[in-house]
Chains A and B, each alone.
Chain A
Amino acid sequence: MKQSLCAITSNVEISPGIHLMWLEAPDIAAIAQPGQFITVRCEGLALRRPFSIHQVVIASEAKQSQVAILFKVVGKGTLWLSQHQRGDKVDILGLLGNGFSVGPSSRNLLLVAGGIGIAPLVFLARSASPQHAITLIYGASTAKELYPFSSLPLTLNPSPSKGEGKGEGEKRSNLLSLPDSVRFIPVTEDGSIGKKGMVTDILPDFLGWAEQVYACGPIDMYKTMANMSLRAKRSNLKVRMCQVSLEVRMGCGIGACYGCTINTRKGLKKVCHDGPVFELDDILWEEVSI
């Protein structure tokens, strides 16, 4: 774990209000696992803001290795961050928390993303080995808000000709393609792309197939999944071995301030230090008010 000033190598608004930001952070890139996070100090704010690692690129020149975060502008901190550009430096603390874990014998992995919850799951999908079959169910309110996956190969440090700025060229070359092995199922609330409804509407269709489930999204999505998991005890369709990434207000991010503690079936846990990834079944959802 280290606090460092990291240079932004690019910051692109890939869809309205959603930014993809690459940072030069070799120490973090070298060890990051899907589900782990960093915190960013935002000017004028007392609390650092946490963001999941969205992507990692190990450069041949180790010092140039980078990590990406994908964030949605929701308030002062994310607005401040969104206004920073290539070359600006930001104060990063990382690597923090424990990420997702994939069992040695699991083959069929179901990834469930709600909204900006896609951020850590792209990293997970891309880190899976060829032996894994991955299905990614990804929900948003409307087509425009879906992460615009690109089929182009990933290029780092896009060098847009001057003035092009956030042009389509830079946008596309920053985006990621999903590995061919990933089956991608978009869901939108308005039906503008993919199935109409919520991710949890179609989730049951995949529960027979999935050996492990990984979810990141709003708390209500988790609560619905937890209910499904309960009901499944009576039927056969269980949300098996489901890991979720929790979002709570954080102070220190390193287990020192007790600001992020939640109650679980395994006792009190610090989300920053023991999580943010927890087993769905370990969380006392009726107590969760975050």
Chain B
Amino acid sequence: MIQGISLQRLPCYNKIIAVRTNSLNLRVQLAPRHPKGLMLDNPVMTASGTFGYGTEYSGLIDIQKLGAIVCKGTTLMPRRGNPQPRLVEIVGGLLNSVGLENIGVDAVIRDKAPIWASWRVPVIVNIAGETIAEYASAVAKLEGIPGVSGIELNISCPNISVGGIEFGVNPKLAAEVTSAVKAVTSLPVMVKLSPNVTDIKEIALAVESAGADAISLINTVKGIAIDISKRKPCLGNITGGLSGPAIKPIALYMVYEVAKVVHIPLIGCGGISCAADALEFIMCGASAVQVGSANLTNPRASLDILEGIKHFMSDKGIHNLADLIGVAQV
């Protein structure tokens, strides 16, 4: 391949034509209202929990080409997660009940961040917690750590100080955890919304006014599966989170709705497994996308999606990705 030129086979002419991809502008600013900002070279990110710490994939694909990597959900203290089985395949995706097993923020700082610091691709640390103080302490520890470019708050966690109500289902709790975290970090903060709510717009507006720099949506949808031969739930944890192509229309709808009301960038996530899926999210109003379960099916999925977006743009003569964001809003 000649540099900057990608060769694309057009079915109608069935001959190879050259399309310029080096004139394309795929850069996206994810934190326009943050003093430092968070500029990505392209809009394709990997979703938390499906891409480890990036290191696991670095021998397999050229991770430096990604827009950003979001690492495994990280808590203040290490967590052991849920009993097996943790995964079950369903039509169009999977249910997982990993239960936030992770090495804890100190080990991330000690063992992972130094590796990230030598990478070109920005790494965003996904943070989870069971109390507001836990979120804030974990995020505070990441202040000034080289290799960490931003924070993503997973608010689909039960708040044990208020009887286990999830932060993400209550606008007040969602706003409280967002502002508590914003107060202790100078990094851009994106808040990842749970789809398991009555009105996603209400939560989005609450975190926007609490200072979120961007919103990612969606996390997994609650679900269950039964093993009929054993006559009991398939997952060790009984219930789990649904992800994969099955949830794409739900995620897309939520992006579409939230884009109407907020003024900060949205990062679409949920069932994205090809460039067309990613473009649907962008056209609904997402500035960037996260690829999750598709990494498990095909470790190359995120890079294939990026190439596909470029092909679409050059094919349609679109030079700036920004010209596609939200175009399908009616």
Contacts and interface: CB of A to CB of B under 8 A. Distances in A.
Contacts of A46: 89, 92-94, 244-245, 293, 296-297
Given A289-B85, A290-B85, A258 B98 contact: yes
A91 interface: yes
B94 A252 contact: no
B297 A41 contact: yes
Contacts of B93: 46
B98 A48 contact: no
A268 B300 CA distance: 28
Interface in B83-122: 83-89, 92-94, 96, 98, 101-102
Contacts of B102: 258
A288 B119 CA distance: 39
A254 interface: yes
Interface stretch (A151-159, A230-238, A243-251): A243-251
Contacts of A268: 80-81, 101
A248 B56 contact: no
B225 to A, nearest CB: 12
B59 A251 contact: no
Nearest to A42: B297
Contact of B49 (A93, A254, A257, A261): A257
B50 A252 contact: yes
A261 B102 CA distance: 11
A262 interface: yes
Nearest to B297: A46
Contact of B52 (A41, A257, A261, A289): A257
A93 B293 CA distance: 16
Contacts of A47: 87, 89, 94, 296-297
Interface string B311-322: 000000000000
A124 B295 CA distance: 32
A254 B83 contact: no
Contacts of A290: 84-85
Contacts of B236: 289
Nearest to A270: B101
A41 B298 contact: yes
Contacts of A180: none
B299 A93 contact: yes
B50 A257 contact: yes
B296 A257 contact: yes
A252 B297 CA distance: 8
Contacts of A41: 297-298
A74 interface: no
B96 A1 contact: no
A2 B60 CA distance: 6
Contacts of A263: 80
Contacts of A288: 84
B86 A258 contact: yes
> What's the interface size class on B, roughly?
35 or more
Nearest to A288: B84
Given A41-B297, A41-B298, A268-B101, A255 B81 contact: no
A260 B52 CA distance: 13
A204 interface: no
Contacts of B244: 46
Nearest to A91: B298
Interface string A152-195: 00000000000000000000000000000000000000000000
Contacts of A31: none
Contacts of B86: 249, 258-261
A289 B97 CA distance: 14
A61 interface: no
A53 to B, nearest CB: 19
Interface in B155-210: none
Given A3-B60, A257-B50, A261-B101, A252 B80 contact: no
B85 A249 contact: yes
A257 B98 contact: yes
Contacts of B85: 248-249, 289-290
B87 A259 contact: yes
A93 B85 CA distance: 22
Interface string A6-48: 0000000000000000000000000000000000010001111
B87 A261 contact: no
Contact of B60 (A1, A48, A287): A1
A256 B98 contact: no
A234 to B, nearest CB: 30
- Counting from the closest, the 7 A-B pairs by CB-CB distance are A256-B52, A256-B56, A259-B87, A249-B87, A258-B101, A251-B296, A258-B98
18 contacts: A3-B298, A46-B244, A46-B245, A93-B299, A250-B87, A251-B50, A252-B52, A252-B296, A254-B52, A257-B87, A257-B296, A258-B49, A258-B86, A258-B101, A261-B84, A261-B86, A262-B84, A289-B83
Interface of B: 49-53, 56-57, 59-60, 72, 80-81, 83-89, 92-94, 96, 98, 101-102, 236, 244-245, 293, 295-300
Given A46-B245, A249-B85, A288-B84, 15 more contacts: A1-B59, A1-B60, A45-B89, A47-B296, A251-B50, A251-B296, A255-B52, A256-B72, A258-B86, A258-B98, A258-B101, A259-B86, A259-B87, A261-B101, A262-B84
